[in-house]
Chains A and B, each alone.
Chain A
Amino acid sequence: MAERVVITGMGIVCPLGHDVETLWQAILAGKSGAAKTTIFDASTFPTTFDAEVKDYDHRKYLKNPKLHEYSNRGSGFVVGATVQACRQAAIDVETDEPTDGIDRNRLGIYLGAGEGSIDNDVFFNSIIEGWDEEKNEMDWGRWAEIAYDRMDPMFELEQEPSMPVAHLAMLTGARGPTRSCLTACAASTQAVGEAMMLIRKGDADVIIAGGAHSMIHPLGLTGFNRLTALSTRNDSPETASRPFTASRDGFVLGEGAATLILESLGSAKKRGVKILAEVIGYGSSSDAFRVTDMHEEGRGAIQAINAALADAGITYKDVDYINTHGTSTAENDLIETKAIKAVFKEEAKNTPASSVKSMLGHLIGAAGAAELITCVLAIRDNIIPPTMNLNDPDPALDLDYVPNKPRKMPVNVAMNESFGFGGQNNVVIIKRYQD
């Protein structure tokens, strides 16, 4: 019999707050994390707003911030989130002599984490100075000279997407299985799913799983704007993320980090820590369709949902709540609705399916883990978070998206869906813990 896997800690740093309870109160109040972009001057971009983490300093979580001084935004966020999660799960951090009852060789890390942002000033100006307009080519000698002069080696190193997990290893002393994945918007759901599998297999007792990402930088915004994936509702940032409406026009770019402590039931019981929920199912698939579009009928999404249900040993009838990917793009919301209908059949319209991206924005690599935290809270409090800004429903989309108000109702099983650019689909199912 495989190990049962439970959640014993959670932490978050996101546009709606720097801890789990603040996030939850904001969501229940229907607040939005979106506002005008402040990280850089985006005033002439097609999209001039985003959902930023504000007033955050990871050093305040740390006794020894020196070890994390070069952290990029994602690493800084995830260090803070993980300190919170470890505190809740009674896991010692920043010590060589932990007394938390966890063998470090059996403590792992699995993040869906993105790249660090570049040093914009050096990046852009070195290209300008190195560009030979007459020859229409780069003068690499000139460029290299500037790079040597102005690039900070440690800052450059921090751009590697593996650095957030490196910071968590430093923070916790973890010597168990450690991986970082980057399957775009599905990454941290995949990280949680694969982390669960590592514990089930017996490779680790505890894994810090989640995500960390910020693409709020000039090239990130440029890339998404060129893909026309972002909302351009610049006159109303807080209502721009409006999943499942007729007037939806793209997602709102967010940033943040979220981690969950996944633990074998045996370890959690032995250590006497509080169990927040049980992770019971994981499914992963690929669309194998187009790099630019989701499969028209949601084939990959359907396959991932079915795989997760089968893994959990339940049917669609057992699911009380679906936390959708719900990005507020024309394509995702339509195809996700189709996929839910295909799997949930007669129960599709009776199963609440909401999108917290309507408030949180889209945390890209960190989105799935942040949203999974809201699923745990939904089970804890028997409240389903709403889809905000749903005032003009798309007539073609007719599920119960829990419009505009949280709903009090029993929630025992919640399903979290994440779909990434290029067609990776990941679904995780959690359940109220019962002995």
Chain B
Amino acid sequence: MESARVVITGFGQITPLGLTAEETWDSLCAGRVGIDTITAFNPVGFSCKLAGQVPEYKIRDFVPKTYRKSTKLMSRDIELSVIAANEALIHAGLVTRGIDPENINIDPERVAINLGAGLISCDLVELAPAIAASTTDGRFDIRKWGKDGLDLVTPLWLLKYLPNMLACHVGIIHDIQGPSNTITCAEAGGHLAIAEATQVIARGASDIALAGGAEAKVNPIVMIRQCLLKRSTIENNHDPATACRPFDADAKGSVFGEAAGVVILEELQHAEKRNAKIYAEVVGLGQSNSINPAYEHLEPDGTGIRIAIEKALTEAQIQPDDLDMIIPHGTGIPADDLAEANAIQTVLGDAAAEIPVWPTKSILSNTGAASGAVDVVATLCAMRDGKIPAAKNCEKKAAGCNLNIANQPQEKNIRCALSCSYSYGGQTTAVILKKAD
């Protein structure tokens, strides 16, 4: 089937290293690390006390005046997506209802949105007074909850925690009336949302799409789950910047965090017609599954990731040595990193030892559904400036990892770049971007 070419004409992100894509990129190039001791709550008693937290912001600064009241209905995940989407639209030169209602230059029906979102965990502090009011002899009493506690919950409470509310708020602010979807594939969500939105444009269902992901994992219940599953590192609490060590021999686990990344995808001719700056073309998308009875880990040979990369290369119609940079999922969880390295090495063969590999989670933390989108934005910056910032914390590669970790910052013309992700349920994905001519 003849399908349209899809390019990226703008991007935005909010990460532990900055409130904008430029701030983040400058910090990455300066060698900063966005991981530190948790301040969102007191992590005493948590085996991992570290996280990637975004700098302070006021959500009211990022929404139109008329929408300020609605920010009360936003969980942090929603706020982050609103901030990144706002930047991406402005960056792409798109004027929406939310940016300037007098000078709108989009057709709302022809704009789609597709975001990866996580399992938004509720704010325990918000619920605590209602729960504490529902006890008998010190234990939770559901009959009291139904009678008394429930009424203490704010009426629109549920709407803060539905994953689709990220796309809904962004869509309402900017009047986006085209296809809307929310991909809930954990860490694979950001890439998969970009993949699906690309296909929405390719089949002609929209001209423009906002795509990416957002997740705020710095919440006690999210963090404790990662601790319980032994996915968080339990060491280096005293030395946050060195804690997350993808592909390193001393890796002990991941560090989780919060972020959002949004890109503007656009049909090529539509972008050319309005003289938009084109950063890259989305040329290859691959998806598969890792199938492992231990659901929280990749299968050791990395088959699911391998298939995703193979499919992406085939769709992109390129050879392994056309790739000039790889951003792997690279979490710092040793078994998973080894499986991913196996997959990359199997697909790329000899080229795997040459192509610079730049894991970002040692710097930006594992930001769940945001991570794939954050890596796509990092790729776009690297392509634009022709440089790869230094990787961190991989001083001695783990046995079995023969990747060329980009330990030194380098100038490099990046023609094509691959980024991968996978969820701990097993969905795998690979995205290949090609630099605009």
Partner among A115, A160, A288, A421 whose Cβ is within 8 Å of the Cβ of B172: A288
Is the CB–CB distance between B225 and A423 below 8 Å? no
Is the CB–CB distance between B425 and A163 below 8 Å? yes
Q: Which of A224-232, A243-251, A351-359, A394-402 contacts B (4 or more CB under 8 A)?
A: A224-232
Encoded as 1 (CB less than 8 Å from any B CB) or 0, chain A from 174 to 203 comes to 111111111110000010001001101111
CB distance from A66 to the nearest CB of B (A): 8
Q: Which of B12-20, B153-161, B338-346 contacts A (4 or more CB under 8 A)?
A: B153-161
Given A200-B1, A222-B150, A286-B177, CB of A179 within 8 Å of CB of B196: yes
Is the CB–CB distance between B185 and A159 below 8 Å? no
Task: Give the nearest-CB partner of A122 in chain B.
Answer: B140
Q: Which residues of chain B in 144-178 are interfacial with respect to chain A, using CB atoms and an 8 Å cutoff?
A: 144-147, 150, 153-159, 161-165, 167-169, 171-172, 174-178
A223 interface residue, CB < 8 Å from B?
yes
Which residues of A lie under 8 Å from residue B134 when comparing CB positions? 124
B57 interface residue, CB < 8 Å from A?
no
A313 interface residue, CB < 8 Å from B?
no
A28 interface residue, CB < 8 Å from B?
no
Which residues of A lie under 8 Å from residue B155 when comparing CB positions? 226-228
Is the CB–CB distance between B180 and A285 below 8 Å? yes
Question: Of residues A178, A288, A290, A421, which shows the largest number of chain B Cβ atoms within 10 Å of its Cβ?
Answer: A288
Which residues of B lie under 8 Å from residue A184 when comparing CB positions? 162, 164
Given A223-B158, A227-B155, CB of A162 within 8 Å of CB of B45: no
Partner among A141, A181, A421 whose Cβ is within 8 Å of the Cβ of B181: A181
Partner among A131, A147, A159 whose Cβ is within 8 Å of the Cβ of B128: A131
Which residues of B lie under 8 Å from residue A420 when comparing CB positions? 164
Partner among A40, A147, A165 whose Cβ is within 8 Å of the Cβ of B185: A165
Given A178-B287, A179-B192, A181-B184, CB of A140 within 8 Å of CB of B177: no
Question: Of residues B73, B158, B163, which shows the largest number of chain A Cβ atoms within 10 Å of its Cβ?
Answer: B158
Q: Which residues of chain A in 38-55 are interfacial with respect to chain B, using CB atoms and an 8 Å cutoff?
A: 40-46
Question: Of residues A160, A287, A299, A423, which shows the largest number of chain B Cβ atoms within 10 Å of its Cβ?
Answer: A160
Partner among B164, B192, B225, B288 whose Cβ is within 8 Å of the Cβ of A183: B164
Task: Give the nearest-CB partner of A198 in chain B.
Answer: B199
Is the CB–CB distance between B425 and A166 below 8 Å? yes
Is the CB–CB distance between A285 and B177 below 8 Å? yes
Is the CB–CB distance between A201 and B203 below 8 Å? yes
Q: How many residues of A contact B (CB 8 A)?
A: 95
Which residues of A lie under 8 Å from residue B58 when comparing CB positions? none
Partner among A148, A182, A225 whose Cβ is within 8 Å of the Cβ of B182: A182
Is the CB–CB distance between B158 and A180 below 8 Å? no
Q: Which of B24-32, B256-264, B290-298 contacts A (4 or more CB under 8 A)?
A: B290-298
B265 interface residue, CB < 8 Å from A?
no
CB distance from A242 to the nearest CB of B (A): 23
Given A115-B119, A288-B108, CB of A421 within 8 Å of CB of B159: yes
Is the CB–CB distance between A151 and B228 below 8 Å? yes
Q: Which of B36-44, B271-279, B353-361, B381-389 contacts A (4 or more CB under 8 A)?
A: B36-44
Is the CB–CB distance between A175 and B288 below 8 Å? yes
B127 interface residue, CB < 8 Å from A?
yes
Partner among B70, B73, B113, B228 whose Cβ is within 8 Å of the Cβ of A147: B228
Given A105-B288, A226-B150, CB of A180 within 8 Å of CB of B45: no
B238 interface residue, CB < 8 Å from A?
no
Which residues of A lie under 8 Å from residue B228 when comparing CB positions? 147-148, 151, 153, 156
Is the CB–CB distance between A183 and B181 below 8 Å? yes
Which residues of B lie under 8 Å from residue A201 when comparing CB positions? 1, 3, 199, 202-203
B205 interface residue, CB < 8 Å from A?
yes
Is the CB–CB distance between A128 and B131 below 8 Å? yes
Q: Interface residues of B: mostly helix, strand, loop or mixed?
A: mixed
Given A40-B142, A157-B295, A163-B295, CB of A142 within 8 Å of CB of B229: no
B307 interface residue, CB < 8 Å from A?
yes
CA–CA, A288 to B177, complex, Å? 6
Encoded as 1 (CB less than 8 Å from any B CB) or 0, chain A from 114 to 140 comes to 010000110011011001010011101
CA–CA, A2 to B204, complex, Å? 13
Given A127-B132, A224-B158, CB of A169 within 8 Å of CB of B225: no
Given A183-B180, A224-B158, A286-B171, CB of A140 within 8 Å of CB of B43: yes
Is the CB–CB distance between B288 and A176 below 8 Å? yes
Q: Which residues of chain A in 266-288 are interfacial with respect to chain B, using CB atoms and an 8 Å cutoff?
A: 284-288
Task: Give the nearest-CB partner of A190 in chain B.
Answer: B181
Is the CB–CB distance between A226 and B146 below 8 Å? no
Is the CB–CB distance between A300 and B425 below 8 Å? no
CB distance from A390 to the nearest CB of B (A): 29
Which residues of A lie under 8 Å from residue B181 when comparing CB positions? 181, 183, 190, 194, 284, 424
Is the CB–CB distance between B177 and A162 below 8 Å? no
Encoded as 1 (CB less than 8 Å from any B CB) or 0, chain A from 413 to 431 comes to 0000000111110000000
Task: Give the nearest-CB partner of A45 in chain B.
Answer: B146
Is the CB–CB distance between A223 and B157 below 8 Å? yes
Is the CB–CB distance between A169 and B287 below 8 Å? no
Interface, chain A (partner B; CB < 8 A): 1-2, 40-46, 67, 105, 108-109, 113, 115, 120-121, 124-125, 127-128, 131, 133, 136-138, 140-145, 147-148, 151, 153-154, 156-157, 159-163, 165-166, 169-170, 173-184, 190, 194, 197-198, 200-203, 218-219, 222-228, 284-292, 299-300, 303, 307, 420-424
Q: Other than the known A162-B184, A226-B154, what 19 A-B pairs have Cβ atoms closer than 8 Å?
A: A124-B131, A124-B134, A144-B45, A161-B119, A165-B425, A175-B291, A179-B196, A181-B181, A181-B184, A182-B162, A200-B1, A223-B161, A285-B109, A288-B176, A291-B73, A291-B156, A303-B109, A423-B172, A423-B180
Interface, chain B (partner A; CB < 8 A): 1, 3, 41-46, 70, 73, 108-109, 113, 117, 119, 122, 124-125, 127-129, 131-132, 134-135, 138-140, 142-147, 150, 153-159, 161-165, 167-169, 171-172, 174-186, 188, 192, 196, 199, 202-203, 205, 220, 224-225, 227-230, 287-289, 291, 293, 295-296, 303-304, 307, 311, 423-427
Nearest 9 A/B pairs, CB to CB: A223-B158, A44-B146, A166-B425, A144-B45, A422-B168, A284-B179, A124-B140, A141-B45, A286-B180
A-B contact pairs, 24 of them (CB 8 A): A43-B143, A113-B184, A115-B119, A127-B128, A128-B139, A131-B132, A138-B220, A144-B44, A151-B224, A160-B423, A174-B289, A178-B289, A182-B164, A194-B181, A201-B199, A202-B1, A223-B158, A225-B150, A286-B167, A291-B70, A291-B168, A292-B156, A420-B164, A424-B167
